[in-house]
Structure 1
Amino acid sequence: MFKRIGLLILANLAVFVMLSIVLTIVQMIFGVNFGTMSGKSLNLGALFIFSMVVGFTGSLISLAMSKQMAKMSMGVQVIDPSRPRNNLEAYLVEVVRRQADKAGIPMPEVGVYEGEPNAFATGASRSSSLVAVSTGLLGVMGRDEVEAVIAHEISHVKNGDMVTMTLLQGVMNTFVIFISRIVGWVVDRQILRNEDDGPGVGYYVTSLVLDIALGFLASMVVAAFSRYREFHADAGAARIMDGSSPMIRALERLGGVEPNELPGSVKGFGISGGIGSLFASHPSIEDRIAALREGRYNA
């Protein structure tokens, strides 16, 4: 299983750090303080609004681009539901349609991509979602296992996990930026004793360093919530499949293969993902199977 930091977390982190750097450069060159600092004082209200704008912009951009980026980066071939090219495509469309009806959500787009066993769901909303499965997964799993995996992804869409994770990432980004600039102001004014009307080098350097350092700590919180949502998606799949056995068998099958790495925008919504660290987007296969057998997340 993957050991590296989830690309989803890094993508959001990179976008908001980039925006922070750009705005900081604008501040330094043009002397624009965005209302966060006035002379030698710190306007906490204006700073919080600034932090929200920067923090949520990165997450919302990532969400808005997630489906298109997934199609491009994974080479997803979207199936025309009215004109499937073969029996396999017709089967996948029928499964997704049936499960979406059962879950009470609009029919997602359905796609197939070349790769090792995995699947994912993405999209900015329930009415604009995509469910994609790999050829590797279709090659190693039986039909009931494939349907359980698709049900897992349908559950992600039904639960609104893409939007929920985006909002959580935006909140974490906001507090990272807010705290880093408060600490930057303290370093600049109290430790380095900057007496100028505008912020000094200490403010800029400290805030940028803390953007990155605190961003990684925030990503642990996001990853922990992602693991929690995986348990619920497994339980949702069990409900759609009218029993947990197919989902358990699918997970057992995944436990014996090495799934391919998904792009950042969908890493947290695959059937399998990185494990073994505080940055893991998915719990271990063993924990997921145990939760299903115990009915831990059925409520």
Structure 2
Amino acid sequence: MNGLKTTMLLAALTALFMALGYTLGRQSGMLIAFLVAIGMNIFTYWNADKIVLKMHNAREVDAASAPDFYGMVQQLATRGGLPMPRVYIVEDPNPNAFATGRNPEHAAVAATTGLLSMLSRDEVAAVMAHELAHVKNRDTLIMTMVATIAGAISMLANFGLFFRGGGDNRGAGIASILAVLVAPFAAMIVQMAISRTREFGADAGSAQMTGDPMALASALAKIAGPAASRPTEAERSNPAVAQLYIVPTGVSELFSTHPATENRIAALQDIAAQMGAEPRAAMDSKPRPSSALNPLRRD
């Protein structure tokens, strides 16, 4: 089912890309847009993880360079029945994390230094379990591809504001302007349609993997404000990457690719009640660093 949804979504985004190409250059523009979209889909499929990791200047770590963090991810992957992903740390004060890769066999997970310094060990584990759940559910490929194509649509639309085709017909000119303005928003709507339900699924996957849904609820409560108020360095150059993060940054609720944090916490509380888990007292946004986890330690 996930594969079918992925195919349908990519077909919809490709059609949108072609429609915009037609608006800007008629049949020749549509053909060029189609070829570009196909090439982009193929390239992104094979290089999704490399694109995202390079965009973030992520540093790969292993059992020697970050034993606590790497060992945590290894233990979670084993619990989730997943191959061991590559593990990265991003030097960024924004407390966030993401996963990428075309399938579980070619996956990578990353956390920012801001997240690792802000959360306790159990909370970091819950966040990384959320990212591993995305890997297990095969969400990572489509999330990366949508971000790439949506970013390309926005770029082409902005280009079209200055170089739109279509002859001398005034009506065609107005239609061209409308298409240029609407296309980026259409791409964002498609992103919303796929991502919000997937975040609930990854949250539930984290709860199952760790057995502690309230650890993720506590982590979300702590990082939601700081993460949303300050975009990452990568997002400053490409806003479309915001949908990859566990908490999106710098976007309004209307155009967010994630459910409201309050709704995610409420869903996790329901899961905790079903599991008979005890509620946590630390359900506020105050950062409380823990010395129990030192993922940057080099032994």
TM surpasses 0.5: yes
* Residue 158 (structure 1) aligns with: 136
Q: Does 1:67 align with 2:49?
A: yes
Q: Does 1:95 align with 2:72?
A: yes
Say how many residue pairs are matched. 240
Q: Does 1:248 align with 2:225?
A: no
Report if the CA contact (8 A) 1:119-1:132 is conserved: yes
Per-residue CA deviations over 1:93-115 (Å, capped at 9, x if unaligned) read 11111211222222111011111
Q: Give the alignment of 1:101-116 within 5 angstroms.
A: 101-116=78-93
Could you tell me which runs of 5 or more consecutive residues in structure 2 were left unpaired when the two chains were aligned.
1-12, 152-165, 275-299
Q: 2:243 aligns with which of 255, 268, 279?
A: 268
Per-residue CA deviations over 1:99-143 (Å, capped at 9, x if unaligned) read 112222221110111112111111222211111111111111110
Per-residue CA deviations over 1:185-241 (Å, capped at 9, x if unaligned) read xxx89x95xxxxxxxx97798468525523422421322321221111111100001
SS in 1 for 2:258: coil
SS in 1 for 2:92: coil
Q: Does 1:134 align with 2:112?
A: yes
* Residue 222 (structure 1) aligns with: 191
After superposition, the Cα gap between the structure-2 partners of 1:261 and 1:168, relative to the gap in structure 1 and judged at 3 Å, is closer
Hey, what's the Cα distance between the residues in 2 that align with 1:282 and 1:59?
24
After superposition, the Cα gap between the structure-2 partners of 1:288 and 1:205, relative to the gap in structure 1 and judged at 3 Å, is same
Report if the CA contact (8 A) 2:21-2:32 is conserved: no
Per-residue CA deviations over 1:154-179 (Å, capped at 9, x if unaligned) read 01111111234467789999xxxxxx
Percent pairwise identity = 30
Q: 1:118 aligns with which of 79, 93, 96?
A: 96
After superposition, the Cα gap between the structure-2 partners of 1:58 and 1:115, relative to the gap in structure 1 and judged at 3 Å, is same
Hey, what's the Cα distance between the residues in 2 that align with 1:277 and 1:139?
27
Hey, what's the Cα distance between the residues in 2 that align with 1:123 and 1:164?
9
* Residue 147 (structure 1) aligns with: 125
Report if the CA contact (8 A) 2:123-2:215 is conserved: yes
Report if the CA contact (8 A) 1:119-1:131 is conserved: yes
> Counterpart of 1:239 in structure 2: which amino acid?
Q
Hey, what's the Cα distance between the residues in 2 that align with 1:203 and 1:61?
34
* Residue 257 (structure 1) aligns with: 226
SS in 2 for 1:295: helix
Computing the radius of gyration from Cα coordinates, the structure with the larger value is 1
Report if the CA contact (8 A) 1:55-1:170 is conserved: no
Could you tell me which runs of 5 or more consecutive residues in structure 1 were left unpaired when the two chains were aligned.
1-12, 28-32, 37-46, 174-187, 193-200
* Residue 77 (structure 1) aligns with: 59
After superposition, the Cα gap between the structure-2 partners of 1:223 and 1:59, relative to the gap in structure 1 and judged at 3 Å, is farther
* Residue 288 (structure 1) aligns with: 264
SS in 2 for 1:145: helix
> Counterpart of 1:75 in structure 2: which amino acid?
N
After TM superposition, give the deviation of residue 53 of structure 1 in Å. Answer: 5.6
Per-residue CA deviations over 1:20-63 (Å, capped at 9, x if unaligned) read 659965x7xxxxx57x9xxxxxxxxxx8x998665554455445
Q: Does 1:277 align with 2:253?
A: yes
Hey, what's the Cα distance between the residues in 2 that align with 1:128 and 1:96?
15
SS in 1 for 2:259: coil
SS in 2 for 1:78: strand
Q: Which has the higher contact order (CA 8 A, sep 6+)?
A: 1
Report if the CA contact (8 A) 1:148-1:238 is conserved: yes
After superposition, the Cα gap between the structure-2 partners of 1:67 and 1:172, relative to the gap in structure 1 and judged at 3 Å, is closer
